[in-house]
Structure 1
Amino acid sequence: MKNKKVHLLLNILGIIVIIYLIIHVFKGEIGKVFNQLFQTNPLILALVLILGILYLMCEGYMIKQLAASFSNQFTTKMGICCASSVAFFRVVTFGSGTTISEVLFYRSKGMDTSDGIGMTILHMIFYKTALLLTSICALFYTYSWLTHTFHHVLLFLILGMILTLLMIVLLLFITLKENWHRRLVTFLDRKIKRASWRQKLKKFNEQVISLRASVQKMIAEPAHVFFVFVLNIGKLFFWYSIPYIVLHQESNISYLFSISLVALTLILSGVIPTPAGIGSFEFVYMLLFRPVVGTVLAISSLLLYRFASYIFPFICGMIYEGMKKRKQLKREIKSIRRNQNV
């Protein structure tokens, strides 16, 4: 009885902490975004929201397709809920709990932990590969403009692509080359003496084994792999298209140029140094778009992009997690009341 009350109080405390984190994260930003929403043409706003919804739906369907090798019970609705939940925890944990929240979601839907880890890593590989391919195409399309306007950015851009490629190759190489993986783990096990690091190595080894099993399930169906990859490419274009929807009536920016700048922004924001207090994505976005459309239009398109790609998925995730937590609290309260009546 006492344990149930303590668990209930901890859940309530957790909700309070999450509310505080939400207020802290969006302090100063949420007002600007919603102020921009009220000033935006309703038709443009509707199109931006539709693109945000389509991304979430495509992401959910892609996760469902990815999960097909592990669970026949996983639905597109679950995939959408997963994407929303991950977006929610990405915000409240400042990005540190993103991967863990995805693994835990798969576990809550009946998957083994190993399959959940494999799913999460495969999800990341597909996303990074799609991001890398689109950014390479964007680089070729905008190369002439970049060399005249931002030649100093090219080094960071290439560095971002190389780092992304190395991450993909390393994960796949370790996964597909079992002997190489064993040698690496054996070597590290001999060199690492600290207990905490040895524990991390053990977890890393387990994750790689899980990933290997997951990849082997996937590569047995190359047509399915290609389909999931195409979905990852397609979902990016829903977000890539948002700035053009906002800007095309007020500027002469072309669709291909606009989506290319977004693709380059996503790659650059991971490696380029940014001034203190300014988000890397926001800084790079303004850096690339301002010379093309001016400061005012760049800011307005950025705020709407952040709403569709960051705030809207977060709100969906908050609703989902709130409903789930509400059901959990009701079950715990009923359980306590039943025990009191006995």
Structure 2
Amino acid sequence: MSCFQQLRQELRQLEAVFPKDHERFRVESASLDEVTCIFVSPTDDTFVIHCNINENYPHSSPMWFSESEDPVVSAAIENLANVSGASNLLIRLMKQLATSLCNMYNVPVHADILKLDAPMEQQNGEESSESEDDGMDSDLNEDADEDHFEMDEVTSERDKKKEEDEDIDTENLIVLERLKMNQRRDYLKGAVSGSVQATDRLMKELRNVYRSDSFKRGIYSVELVNDSLYDWNIKLQGVDPDSALYADLMVLKEKEGRDFILLNMTFKENFPFDPPFVRIIAPIINGGYVLGGGAICMELLTKQGCSSAYTIEAVI
């Protein structure tokens, strides 16, 4: 059985054992690259825990993290980092996580958790016969067909991503890869900043910026402050040649050798449902929508005027 098929089988079993209405432990969503689960404490507090599955699973262990600062949850996740070898299987790690949380909260380990085990073990039992082997032939063929179809899907997704990356300069691809590595490091250390939702959206926004025609033509450029996805410095270098602002920038260029507007854009953890905060760092601009300190006052940048459908490039 291939790694993809094994993972898919594990995900099916997890969703079957831990439905969304489970008393103690729930699998909210499950895909080939991420699983989100919820632990319900004895006081009915809920703790959301995320699991990122690497493409070379099960040879590398999944990465676990939670936005909760609960010490019990943090300790249970930290214990998973010490697991290696055959115990790397997602279904075993999930069983260990649920068991640890129950023990730490002094609640009985639910029967569903105790009976959970790797589905592959059922196929390695000593019970075998020629008739059973014959009966399994058709199942194996079906599994092979499903596996082939799934591999085609994965290959197609990778090819699509590769095509998208071809539109991005090597220097910017390095930035994206460095951000991914930093995120993984922070997850393992339990020092995650922001939220999963905001981080995922900002990664997509940054990738789209790098691919955009306006960015490539130098109308604007983007630099992350201290490699933070939540803090962008933006140089706006292309403005309407017929505008008064353009004329002012030409004067600025003659005096100071600078013909761009430097913006700072910061994001909160509930982005994109909260707008970014945008201010002008330089030059000093008087009038218009610019307030003291460089803050920009526009309806677009308020909760009432923003929309999660707006792209960062559109805002810029």
Same fold (TM over 0.5): no
TM-score by structure 2 length? 0.26
Decide which structure has greater helix share: 1
TM-score of the pair, normalised by structure 1 = 0.25
Q: Compare relative contact order (CA 8 Å, sep 6+) and give the higher one, 1 or 2.
A: 1
Look at both structures and tell me which one has the larger radius of gyration over its CA atoms: 2
